[in-house]
Amino acid sequence: AQTVTQSQPEMSVQEAETVTLSCTYDTSESDYYLFWYKQPPSRQMILVIRQEAYKQQNATENRFSVNFQKAAKSFSLKISDSQLGDAAMYFCAYRTTDSWGKLQFGAGTQVVVTP
Amino acid sequence: EPEVTQTPSHQVTQMGQEVILRCVPISNHLYFYWYRQILGQKVEFLVSFYNNEISEKSEIFDDQFSVERPDGSNFTLKIRSTKLEDSAMYFCASSERRQGYGYTFGSGTRLTVV
């Protein structure tokens, strides 16, 4: 069974600074998908960024980028130029290619942005 | 941008009562899901649904739970005889494809069992 581990319960960052959230996963699959979801206080789940395992190039979405290390089974999220609106819980998630799309989530990392 | 709509946003029910949580997925999506998040805990998969039948379910999804797509637009989660531990945020999600990208979540229904 796949597991997703987020070892940082909370990370604090100052506005305009950069913060990196870590995520590791355990799988025997060679092809899969990885995601970061943001959950603000409203508790809605918002897709931030996604990565296909077969792609070596790290995904980037504006101020959000990932560092995908397949051999190490690591998928970290970097938030650059942090803004107050980035304050939220961030979940790393894993999805295989041969399931019916089930996502396995990590426990989450709370990001606190200070002015 | 298309949205997944969930109603109600918050429901309070007495222990032992039945509740139905409703979802309207994005219209051209074919795969539907329910997830649960107990306060302060991780998001957990409950069930996936395709072609009018359950395609996968978790251990959490026992006989107390059922899902249905009663018409072409709604997707419901029924919880029979609710328990205190069913109190959680329930998220509906839909996807256009089985494979590929992540899917779109609704804004959730907060269920409180008293």
Query: What pLDDT, in 10s, does the model give residues B92-103?
Result: 999 887 665 668
B85 phi and psi, to 5 degrees?
Answer: -75, -5
Q: What pLDDT, on the 0 to 100 scale, is given for residue A35?
A: 94
**What's at B13, amino acid-wise?**
T
Cβ pair B43:A103 closer than 8 A: yes
Q: Which residues pair with B67 in a beta bridge?
A: B77
Lowest mean pLDDT among A14-28, A65-79, B34-48: B34-48
User: Taking 70 as the threshold, does the pLDDT of residue A19 lie above it?
Assistant: yes
* Angstroms from A89 CA to nearest CA on chain B: 10
DSSP state of A100: S
Which B positions 87-106 lie with beta carbon below 8 A of chain A? 89, 91, 93, 95, 98-106
Assign A100 a pLDDT band (cuts: 50, 70, 90).
Answer: confident
Cβ pair B108:A44 closer than 8 A: yes
Q: Which residues contact A53 (CB under 8 A, 6 or more apart)?
A: A29, A30, A31, A32, A33, A34, A68, A70
| Cα-based torsion angle of the residue sequence B94, B100, B101, B107 in order, rounded to the nearest 10 degrees | 10
3-state helix, strand, coil in chain A (%, to 5): 5, 50, 45
Assign A97 a pLDDT band (cuts: 50, 70, 90).
Answer: confident
Assign A56 a pLDDT band (cuts: 50, 70, 90).
Answer: confident
* Angstroms from B25 CA to nearest CA on chain A: 15
Q: What pLDDT, on the 0 to 100 scale, is given for residue B100?
A: 59
Distance CA A111, CA A89 (A): 6
Residue A92: its chain B contacts at CB < 8 A?
A: none
| Span B3-37, pLDDT tens digits | 899 999 999 999 999 999 999 999 888 899 999 99
Q: What pLDDT, on the 0 to 100 scale, is given for residue B98?
A: 66
Q: Stretch B70-83: mean pLDDT, rounded? A: 92
Q: What pLDDT, on the 0 to 100 scale, is given for residue B84?
A: 97
Unique residue bearing structure tokens 């296909």: A52
B30 lies within 8 A of chain A by CB: no
Provide the CA A35 distance to its chain's centre, in angstroms.
6
Closest CA to B33 of B17, B21, B42, B41: B21
Q: What pLDDT, on the 0 to 100 scale, is given for residue B1?
A: 75
Tokens of B6: 């969930």
Which of A95, A103, A104 would best serve as a mutation to test chain B binding (most B beta carbons within 10 A)? A103
